[in-house]
A and B are shown apart, each in its own frame.
Chain A
Amino acid sequence: MTAAPPAPPAPRHPQLLAATIAVTLVALLLTVGTYWCLHLEETHVHALAPEFTPEKLQGAALQKRAFEQPDLLVFYGSSELVKEMPNNATQFFADYPTGFRVFPVGKPGSTSLGVVQKVAAVGPQVRGQKVAFSISPGWFLTEVFDPSFYAGNFSEMQAYETVFSTELSRDLKQRIARRMLDFPDTLKSRPFLRMALQKLSGKRLVDRIAYAACWPLGRLQVRISRLQDHGEVAIHILESDLAEKPKGRGIRGLNWNDLLKKAARFANLTAVQNKKNEVERKKMVPGSQDAAYLTAIGSAREWVDLELLLRTFREMNADVLLLSIPVEDIRLQVYGITKASREEYLRRLSALAAKYNYPVADFREHAANERFTVDFLDHLSGEGWLYYNKMLDDFFHDRLKH
């Protein structure tokens, strides 16, 4: 009778071995999953270009993929991008008429401080890339913009990316942090983010040390948010009925001279009449509000935020085009201001753009055209969009005279 072979010796720390295997498997799963998500983003980014979903606006993964595409032009702005209008850049360039389409990012109420965080969240993908930014003059005609608009566009993920950015200088992050702290409602339920912002904005040595202590946890949060971002985009793609391949393209070489000659046919006469009615209803005495508006333009916080955005673009080495919706003559009438107020806005905008050496299209030559916008809230008309589109096309194809 032979003795049974001895049982193999048990590992010394069986729990540790099992935990190591489980964690390794999860890490492997996450790595493979992330690559799969990246592949999905890559193959669907063109189809997702016209969307204004939270996955696109509040995350950064899709914006990163858009910056990587040679035939997409990322275009930041606000409500004008979303408003249904003939010739809207999203529709106008939908079939890549000159070899590219616009990738709009923005929704009602987005202002410069929100865009700063979006660009910071995109990070190195912005470097050396073309990007356009549409400016609404209405942001500068009031000292403080409605804080609920900022809150309505706030993204925790983008905020963390900004605060713990490795791309931006400390001084710039400090200034951005000070502005973000002006909106405490967005930080109420986010104590760690609030603390990091407070420490980052502080000037004392103890603040620097506390911010440095926050850094590892902040970077971990950034990593987790990025994984979640990829996951959300993947779920969105799988739930949407999107075509795998980009829709039809047709390079047809636009004749801008012809297009702009016929631009007036897109005039929305009802909108123009509504604007005239508004002027009649308000009956403002020309110049009666100049002093108030000049004070508002002089002290508008939006200037600070716009400069932060331009600094962010410069530190990212981006190739930027600024477009400003014109303040039409008819709008001066409804506000009770003279051309002096408008000049002040244009002067400051040009000076800021010149400081950072970025081209700005302010369409001041169209001020007398009351058809350029459809209301007094910075929404372009079908005609106005054509001028915007020409500028975007010239910018994309390096035809802008700087």
Chain B
Amino acid sequence: MWNALRQRIEEKPGLQTLLRTLYYLAILLGLFALYGRGDFSTPAFVYQGF
């Protein structure tokens, strides 16, 4: 079944490009999700003034 699917995809270069694009997009978005957020926190410190 996989071979048949692969053959069908290889026969259609447009579909190949679309699937590759989606694959790269998924990688890029995954990287954004993992490392995209910034760290705007500060170390906790004890302020004696209050």
Residues of A within 8 A of B (CB): 7-11, 14-15, 17-19, 21-23, 25-26, 54-55, 58-59, 79, 83, 108-109, 148-149, 151-157, 224-225, 228-229, 231-232, 375, 377-379
Contact = CB atoms under 8 A, between A and B. Distances in A.
A151 B20 contact: no
A54 B28 contact: no
A10 to B, nearest CB: 4
A114 to B, nearest CB: 10
B3 interface: no
Given A26-B25, A109-B47, A228 B38 contact: yes
A156 B39 CA distance: 8
A152 B37 contact: no
A325 to B, nearest CB: 12
A375 B50 CA distance: 9
B49 A231 contact: no
Interface in B21-50: 21, 23-25, 28-29, 32, 36-47, 49-50
A152 B47 CA distance: 9
A109 to B, nearest CB: 6
Interface size class of B (residues with CB under 8 A): 20 to 34
25 contacts: A7-B11, A7-B13, A8-B14, A10-B16, A11-B17, A14-B16, A14-B17, A19-B24, A21-B17, A25-B25, A26-B25, A54-B42, A58-B41, A108-B49, A109-B45, A109-B47, A148-B45, A149-B45, A151-B42, A154-B42, A157-B40, A228-B40, A232-B37, A377-B49, A379-B49
Contact of B42 (A18, A155, A377): A155
Contacts of B24: 18-19, 21-23
A229 B45 contact: no
Given A7-B11, A79-B47, A22 B25 contact: yes
Contacts of A15: 20
B13 A14 contact: yes
B17 A59 contact: no
A323 B16 CA distance: 66
B11 to A, nearest CB: 6
Contacts of A225: 38
Nearest to B40: A58
Nearest to B13: A10
Nearest to A146: B45
A375 B48 CA distance: 12
Nearest to A236: B40
Contacts of B28: 22-23, 26
A391 B44 CA distance: 33
A64 to B, nearest CB: 15
B40 A232 contact: yes
Nearest to A80: B49
A361 to B, nearest CB: 22
B20 to A, nearest CB: 3
Contacts of A155: 40, 42
B21 A22 contact: yes
Tell which of B11, B40, B41, B47 has the most Cβ of chain A within 10 Å: B40
Contact of A149 (B13, B47, B50): B47
A155 B21 CA distance: 37
Nearest to A30: B32
Tell which of B24, B42, B46 has the most Cβ of chain A within 10 Å: B42
Contacts of B39: 156
Contacts of A10: 13, 16
A225 B24 CA distance: 24
A98 B47 CA distance: 34
A152 B44 contact: yes
B20 A83 contact: no
B37 A231 contact: yes
Contacts of B49: 79, 108, 375, 377-379
Contacts of A55: 40
B24 to A, nearest CB: 4
Contacts of A378: 49
